Structures are given as C-alpha cells and as structure tokens.
Amino acid sequence: MNGNTIAKAVIPVAGYGTRLLPATKSQPKEMLPVVDRPAVQYVVEEAVASGIESILFVTGRGKRAIEDYFDYSIELEGELEQKGKKDLLHEIREIGNMVQIFYVRQKIQRGLGDAIYQAKRFVNGTSFAVLLADDIIDADVPVLSRMKEAYQENLGVILAVTRIPREEISQWGVIQGKKIGERLYEVEDLVEKPEPEEAPSDLAIVGRYILTPSIFESIARTTPGKGGEIQLTDAIRSLRGSERIYAYEFAGTYYGVGDKIGYLKANIAFALKREDLGKELREFLEKLREEGLHEDGVKKWRR
C-alpha cells in the first residue's frame, strides 16, 4: 500500500443529539432516517465510495443500535428469504458487508477532540479521515475522495470547507487562508465562531477532515474549553508551524442533519431525487404551496 494512501476513517457518534430531542431520547440521532436509511449510512457510503477500507465508530452509551444496524440480521434475512423478497434481502445483506467496522467507546463526553483521541490505537501512526455523521454532503463525486486526491499532492491536514452566508458565520469555524489551486487553500489560521464583521472569510469548516498522526499529541496538550470539552479545531490550530494545513472547497450540497431544520431539508431533498418518490412528493409540495398550510387558506406558503 502507498504510504500516502488514506485507508482508515473515524466516525464519532457519541453525542447526545440534544438538538433533535425528544426523538433522540431513546434512539441515536445518527439512526434517524433520511428517507429510508439512517443518516449515518450516507456518511459510511461516502467513505466506502472514497476507498476507505476500515472504519472506527467512536460510540457512547445508548448507541448500540448503530452496532446492530451494521451487523448481520439473521432473523430478518431468513424472513425475507422465505417470503421471496430478494431485492430487500440483497439490500439488507449489503449493509453488513459494506466495510470492516470497529468500535470504541468515549466513556465521558469531553468534546470532538477527545473523541478523535480515542482512535489513536486504531490509526496506528497513519494519516486518516474523519467524517461527522451529522454532516451529509450530496455531491457527484464523494467529497472525501476529492480530499484524498488533494492529500496525495499536498501532504498535511486537509479540511473540507464551504461558503456560508455572512449572517450565519458566527455558528461556524472559519478559515483564513490563501488560494493555491482551483479549490484548494493553504490555511493560515482557524477562527471558531467569529462575529460576521470579524470573520476572516466566508469559508466554513464542514465535517470532513484528513488528519495526520501528529493530531494526537496536539489533542493531548489542548486545554479544555467551554463545558470541559476539547475542541478539534483548537488542536488543529496548534499544528500551525509544524504541519501544513489545507482547506478543500467542495462542490456539492451540504445538509446538517444534527438539527431539526437541516434534518427536514435533507429528507425532502433526497426524497425528491428518488424515482419512486420524487414525482408524488413534488406534487404534494406544490399543492401545499398553492393551498397554504390550513384548510381556510389564511396562512399561505411564501416563496
């Protein structure tokens, strides 16, 4: 294997999902369906399509459903086989065969940086990818695949970024950098949740990273911030001067499914793309737009 090849990925899934309560009270947010498959499957499929060979889920309490989902389901498979539902049987079996998966627990919620630190033994001294299960990106070519190409040519940390409206920039980590390629920037600084007038750019960091093994030492010396959490952005920022840090501005549509409006948008967008669902859903949405939300027609949808 090429020493520059990214073959391992880490997907942190230990969070509580408080922004999606009460639905996440008894079910992991990563398992909430986007159309007919859990949100986390879209992220796993991107990793597999990008050539990832093994994935580590960093889990927490109450996340057993994720392990069960990516395991074989003997009883269900037997039922589908008996009823002759071959297409569904094939789809269910493919989930269990998708990729080699490992699990480790983040026993105490101490932030994303700490969650990544749990992967140190799994990574074993190699560069690796991180994909956040809250972040689904609909792209013609998988974003992680493009990032791997950028890594091959520019060894170092690679961050996925996208342009965000200035009025929303205070909710994001933002890069300051210089453009060195069509979609590639060399990062000079990272600013966490700046005020719009103080933001160095409108390029916000989205949940795809390629990290080098030096991130673990950086995490270990990173001081916990608000709520005692160790922020991954802080650990990456401290690598400046010892590691080159790049940002890749991806082509695609980002859906943040960790909050209610992002989750709803993702469901509608992906359903509209489906041949078996899109036409009827589009007609339904058009009817809502024309007739309004209420039978009396008082409240109308606005464009």
Q: What are the residue ranges spanned by the domains of the chain?
A: 8-272, 277-303
What is the pLDDT, as a whole number, of residue 296?
54
CA distance 6 to 50: 9
What is the pLDDT, as a whole number, of residue 293?
58
- Residue 11, CA distances (Å) to 14, 42, 101, 169, 219 in order: 9, 12, 10, 25, 17
pTM comes to 0.89
**Buried/exposed 166-185: b ≥16 CB within 10 Å, e otherwise:** eeebbebbbbbbeeeeeebb
What is the pLDDT, as a whole number, of residue 301?
42
Instruction: Split the chain (303 residues) into runs of 10 and give each run's mean pLDDT.
Output: 77 89 90 93 94 94 88 78 78 78 89 94 96 95 96 93 92 92 93 88 95 96 85 92 94 94 96 95 91 57 41
What is the pLDDT, as a whole number, of residue 303?
38
What is the pLDDT, as a whole number, of residue 76?
79
What is the pLDDT, as a whole number, of residue 152?
92
Q: Secondary structure of the chain in the HEC alphabet?
A: CCCCCCCEEEEECCCCCHHHCCHHHCCCHHHCEECCEEHHHHHHHHHHHCCCCEEEEEECCCCHHHHHHCCCCHHHHHHHHHCCCHHHHHHHHHHHCCCEEEEEECCCCCHHHHHHHCCHHHHCCCCEEEECCCEEEECCCCHHHHHHHHHHHCCCEEEEEEECCHHHHHHCEEEEEEECCCCEEEEEEEEECCCHHHCCCCEEEEEEEEECCHHHHHHHCCCCCHHHCCCHHHHHHCCECCECEEEEECCCEEEECCCHHHHHHHHHHHHHCCCCCHHHHHHHHHHHHHHCCCCCCCCCCCC
Q: Is the CA virtual torsion 123, 138, 202, 146 positive or negative? A: positive
CATH code for the structural domain at 8-272:
3.90.550.10
Q: Is the CA virtual torsion 80, 85, 138, 278 positive or negative? A: negative
